Amino acid sequence: MTAAGQPRRFRLDRFISSRVGVKRRDVRALLASGRVCLDGQAAREINQVVDQFSHITLDGEVLQDFAATYLMLNKPRGVVSATRDDKHRTVIDLLDANMGSGLHIAGRLDYNSTGLLLLTNDGRWSRRLACSNNPVQKVYRVTLEHPLTERYVEAFAQGMHFPFEDITTRPVSLKILSDHSAELRLTEGRYHQIKRMFGRFNNKVLTLHRIAIGNVTLDPQLGPGQHRPLTQMELDGLF
């Protein structure tokens, strides 16, 4: 995995040549004799593209067997959504020893924001999650310094223009839960977007908590800082 979460992709013959120390032209004979298996099937094409999650064996000996990892984590306040930081504790520091190796964050939260984070070592999956052509809805709960009115609902539904970037946000669904709290549903994540939108009303966001990304809802059994793997049902329905 590269630093940006880009999965390594390479030709099968190049991988086998470098792993077992044979010349690439000799790999063809290994494939022809059925000695190489890729994901449980005999591999035949030398130019077949594999990645870091491909299960590859030679004569029954495992050459590579890395599993894709998908985690949900309940981010506490005061933790950085980063893999490394020289000054602050990161979400990777919350994981068990050695568990965070190769993981990156799919959708960050601010230092003081809390709630659902997704972590993975699968760069294609996280890029699909962030793809603007396939927007995934995110749900947040916020508490505000000043009372809410119906003016907020209308303004958020229309979208807001941010002159610095010269962009207009997509419509945001705002549901007032109480005088000082609301639930927001949006399909993008501009820089400090929620805080800036409430800033138009000079209303300070006191707490910001993410409760869902797509069909994946933060597990109520997870306390702050705790995590668990995503279920297959969550993975299948996320997009």
Residues identified as active-site = 110
Angle at 210 between CA 228 and CA 225, to 5 degrees: 40
Q: Which residues contact 217 (CB under 8 A, 6 or more apart)?
A: 116, 211
Note the Cα 44 to chain centre separation in Å: 34
Q: List Cα–Cα distances, 48 to 1, 25, 38, 66, 196, in angstroms.
A: 19, 14, 10, 18, 48
